[in-house]
């Protein structure tokens, strides 16, 4: 039906000159755990040389000419190096596995990469994933747990029913126990702010933000997710209006969004299937600038595609000069955000490997993808500086009772702070669990309560994330066969000893996808409890789109308890000491 998938980042225009860059000379020696399914990268680029294991199973390199290797090069660069405008960005020590499936389109002026119209895309993707997972003598793909898919079909916006592409990802993810990081898609149409240019420039930042949000809310139909971002088992990543470029020269361009904590003007938005939370998380996708109206009385802004100058995310580029192997450009888009999510997933994998070695704990290889899925979302929250303008601009008398669900369409579960899941502090402890559960089973976990918190009156936050993979029933309207949820031992969160309340997500909406993320906070006095008492957490598995659920469902669980950093209570050590004796008696937490 539709054969036009393209990369979802704004690549350099044909006449843009690349910006040279001195890349760090740190080798990538460890084997890959993530794969890039995209266009053909520039393998000899200084940023990518000896860092990529290429598997050109469709023999697509022959279609490329100098300057064509745009999207695959930029995505590989972001995964391996991150935004090179950041001072703290370091290259990964792992190589990246890559199977090209896109190729240049000779019918377009800049030969943009796409899937040819005479190719059955789902077949090509299926062949690539099967080759990747089942392996061959040349695949080098043993141990792949993450796949970056920074492309989408602009001709196939999500409307009610998941696309064949999304269903294919759901099936592949379930069959091979692998996590797809998928971009939400880009919307590059002009935006009408409803305010003429002179008046807009005279507005305060808060007023500009309100004008922008109201404009987007009136045009949501054109900002729907594009296939396959509605995939149930995948993580969908939206773009934030943020990068590490810093100050820039406007050169006649206009930043219509004065906030780095709000979704990018070009990022597509949710909901997902059955109004589930999609995209689940938002990561920086570069600041997208616009051309102001030609006439001051006009209200419509056109997107600015010039990428030789910042802002944006600095990535390796296949420059216009032949033989140039150190060129960079500044790109934007949800493709970039998905690549950064994949990079974060690799870092989480390495943390889990160290945890296995240091603590002598076993995380089965076929469950590690759901643990990564849970941890990628686990650090997400809605910062007050983002939530407040969303509520003020979008709340009405008709939607006030479901405002949390409304906000999730624009913010998902929020913006994750990956460093919070990679390391703990004395005042913040994260516990990880995993397992497989069958229909009508209940897995009970006991989270030790630090005795020093008993009866104290202080701020605390409890974050709980449950992620799983579900088999898919294409003949049922619910599609998802397995429905998991986590609850607090038969009572509501406010009646637990911690006395916390849900902050961000809607209590019904978090149950509609394959990730349940709860952020709960409290500041009143904690109930008195005895040393050795625990918070009981129960994971429950029910059937959804099937008469009988015959499969065991893999899940990952992350629980974090924290208090303010200036609190002189070492909850990390107390939880670690209390939880160690529980491990041999069958608990996976």
pLDDT per residue as tens digits for the range 539-582: 999 999 889 999 999 999 999 999 999 998 999 999 998 886 54
Q: Is residue 315 part of a domain?
A: yes
Q: What is the pTM of this model?
A: 0.94
* Rounded average pLDDT over 143-154: 94
294 plus 441 within the same structural domain: no
174 plus 272 within the same structural domain: yes
433 plus 341 within the same structural domain: no
- Per residue in 496-538, pLDDT (tens digit) is 999 999 998 899 999 999 999 999 999 999 999 988 899 999 9
- Cα–Cα distances (Å) from 1 to 67, 82, 184, 272, 305, in that order, read 31, 35, 20, 21, 30
- Per residue in 85-138, pLDDT (tens digit) is 887 778 999 999 999 999 999 988 889 899 988 888 899 999 999 999 887 555
Of 54, 48, 167, 63, the residue nearest 115 (C-alpha): 63
pLDDT confidence bin for 25, thresholds 50/70/90: confident
Q: Are 471 and 574 in contact (CB under 8 A)?
A: no
Q: Is residue 350 part of a domain?
A: no
d(CA 21, CA 84): 9
180-189, 229-238, 244-253, 408-417, range with the lowest pLDDT: 244-253
Output the average pLDDT for the chain: 90
190 plus 321 within the same structural domain: yes
Total count of residues recorded for the chain: 589
Per DSSP, helices labelled H in 205-285 are 205-217
Q: Is residue 4 part of a domain?
A: no
pLDDT confidence bin for 295, thresholds 50/70/90: confident
327 plus 470 within the same structural domain: no
Which residues, other chains included, contact 101 with Cβ-Cβ below 8 Å and sequence gap of 6+?
37, 38, 58, 60, 115, 124, 125, 128
Instruction: Quote the pLDDT of residue 589.
Output: 46
**306 or 307, higher pLDDT:** 306
Last residue of a domain, one of 320, 345, 370: 345
301 plus 430 within the same structural domain: no
pLDDT confidence bin for 2, thresholds 50/70/90: very low
Q: List residues bridging with 542 in a β-sheet.
A: 483
432 plus 340 within the same structural domain: no
Of 111, 115, 106, 101, the residue nearest 154 (C-alpha): 115
Is the model's pLDDT at 588 over the cut of 60? no
Q: Are 579 and 448 in contact (CB under 8 A)?
A: yes
Q: Are 267 and 239 in contact (CB under 8 A)?
A: yes
Q: List residues bridging with 539 in a β-sheet.
A: 443, 486
341 plus 219 within the same structural domain: yes
Q: Are 245 and 282 in contact (CB under 8 A)?
A: no
335 plus 446 within the same structural domain: no
Q: Is residue 434 part of a domain?
A: yes
Q: Is residue 216 part of a domain?
A: yes
- Cα–Cα distances (Å) from 295 to 28, 198, 202, 299, 303, in that order, read 52, 10, 16, 9, 16
- Cα–Cα distances (Å) from 393 to 216, 229, 340, in that order, read 11, 26, 29
Q: Are 55 and 99 in contact (CB under 8 A)?
A: yes
Q: Are 94 and 33 in contact (CB under 8 A)?
A: yes
* Number of domains composing the chain: 2
Of 93, 86, 21, the residue nearest 50 (C-alpha): 93
51-60, 108-117, 434-443, 472-481, range with the lowest pLDDT: 108-117
Q: Are 169 and 122 in contact (CB under 8 A)?
A: no
Q: Is residue 50 part of a domain?
A: yes
Instruction: Quote the pLDDT of residue 14.
Output: 41
Last residue of a domain, one of 313, 345, 377: 345
320 plus 468 within the same structural domain: no
Is the model's pLDDT at 584 over the cut of 60? no
Q: Is residue 11 part of a domain?
A: no
Which CATH number does the domain housing residue 554 bear?
2.60.120
Domain that holds residue 50: 28-345
d(CA 478, CA 480): 6
* Rounded average pLDDT over 37-61: 95
- Per residue in 371-399, pLDDT (tens digit) is 999 999 999 999 999 999 999 999 999 99
Instruction: Quote the pLDDT of residue 585.
Output: 33
Of 331, 304, 301, the residue nearest 315 (C-alpha): 331
Torsion over CA of 13, 15, 16 and 20, rounded to 10 degrees? 130
pLDDT confidence bin for 470, thresholds 50/70/90: very high
Q: Could you tell me what percentage of the chain is helix, strand and coil, using 3-state DSSP and rounding each to the nearest 5?
A: 25, 25, 50
User: And the tokens for 79?
Assistant: 């995964």
Buried b (16+ CB within 10 A) or exposed e, 521-554: bbeeebeebeeebbbebebebebbbbeebeeebb
d(CA 373, CA 233): 10
Which CATH number does the domain housing residue 187 bear?
3.40.50.200
154 plus 285 within the same structural domain: yes
Q: Is residue 373 part of a domain?
A: no
d(CA 74, CA 22): 16
Instruction: Quote the pLDDT of residue 1.
Output: 44
Rg (CA), the chain: 24
92 plus 212 within the same structural domain: yes
Is the model's pLDDT at 357 over the cut of 80? yes
With tokens 């009156």, the residue in question is 457
Last residue of a domain, one of 345, 373, 398: 345
């Amino acid at each position: 039906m539709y054969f036009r998938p393209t990369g979802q980042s704004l690549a350099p225009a044909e006449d843009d000159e690349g910006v040279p860059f001195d890349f760090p000379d740190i080798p990538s020696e460890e084997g890959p755990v993530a794969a890039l399914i995209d266009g053909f990268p520039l393998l000899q680029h200084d940023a990518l040389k000896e860092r990529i294991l290429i598997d050109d199973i469709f023999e697509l390199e022959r279609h490329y000419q100098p300057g064509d290797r745009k999207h695959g090069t930029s995505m590989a660069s972001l995964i391996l190096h991150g935004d090179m405008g950041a001072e703290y960005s370091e290259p990964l020590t792992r190589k990246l596995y890559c199977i090209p499936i896109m190729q240049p389109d000779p019918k377009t002026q800049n030969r943009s990469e796409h899937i040819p119209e005479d190719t059955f895309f789902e077949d090509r993707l299926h062949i690539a994933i099967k080759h990747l997972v089942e392996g061959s003598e040349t695949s080098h793909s043993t141990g792949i747990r993450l796949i970056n898919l920074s492309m989408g079909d602009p001709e196939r916006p999500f409307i009610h029913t998941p696309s064949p592409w999304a269903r294919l990802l759901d099936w592949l993810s379930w069959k091979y126990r692998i996590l797809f990081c998928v971009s939400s898609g880009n919307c590059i149409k002009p935006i009408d702010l409803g305010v003429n240019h002179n008046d807009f420039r005279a507005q305060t930042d808060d007023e500009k933000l309100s004008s922008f949000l109201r404009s987007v809310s009136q045009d949501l139909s054109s900002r729907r997710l594009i296939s396959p971002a509605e995939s149930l088992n995948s993580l969908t990543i939206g773009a934030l209006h943020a990068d590490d470029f810093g100050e820039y020269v406007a050169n006649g361009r206009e930043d219509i969004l004065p906030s780095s904590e709000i979704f990018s003007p070009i990022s597509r938005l949710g909901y997902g299937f059955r109004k589930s939370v999609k995209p689940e998380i938002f990561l920086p996708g570069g600041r997208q600038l616009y051309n102001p109206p030609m006439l001051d009385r006009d209200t419509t802004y056109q997107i600015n595609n010039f990428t030789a100058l910042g802002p944006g995310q600095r990535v390796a580029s296949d420059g216009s000069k032949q033989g140039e192997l150190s060129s960079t450009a500044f790109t934007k888009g949800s493709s970039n955000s998905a690549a950064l999510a994949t990079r974060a997933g690799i870092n989480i994998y390495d943390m889990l490997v160290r945890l296995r070695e240091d603590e002598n704990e076993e995380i089965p290889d076929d469950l590690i993808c759901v643990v990564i899925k849970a941890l990628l979302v686990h650090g997400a929250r809605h910062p007050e500086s983002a939530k407040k303008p969303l509520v003020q601009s979008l709340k009405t008398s008709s939607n006030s009772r479901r405002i949390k669900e409304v906000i999730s369409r624009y913010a998902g579960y929020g913006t994750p702070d990956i460093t919070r899941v990679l390391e703990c502090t004395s005042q913040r402890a994260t516990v990880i669990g995993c397992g497989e559960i069958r229909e009508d089973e209940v897995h009970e976990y006991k989270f030790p309560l630090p005795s020093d918190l008993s009866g104290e009156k202080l701020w605390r936050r409890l974050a709980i994330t449950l992620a799983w993979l579900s088999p898919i029933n294409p003949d049922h309207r619910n599609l998802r066969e397995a429905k998991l949820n986590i609850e607090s031992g038969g009572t509501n969160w406010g009646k637990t000893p911690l006395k916390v309340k849900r902050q961000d997500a809607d209590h019904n909406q978090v149950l509609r996808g394959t990730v349940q993320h709860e952020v709960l906070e409290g500041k009143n006095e904690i109930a008195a409890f005895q040393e050795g008492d625990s918070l009981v957490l129960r994971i429950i598995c029910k059937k959804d789109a099937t008469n009988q659920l015959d499969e065991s469902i893999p899940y990952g669980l992350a629980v974090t308890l924290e208090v303010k950093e200036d609190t002189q209570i070492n909850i990390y050590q107390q939880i670690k000491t209390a939880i160690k004796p529980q491990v041999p008696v069958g608990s996976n937490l």
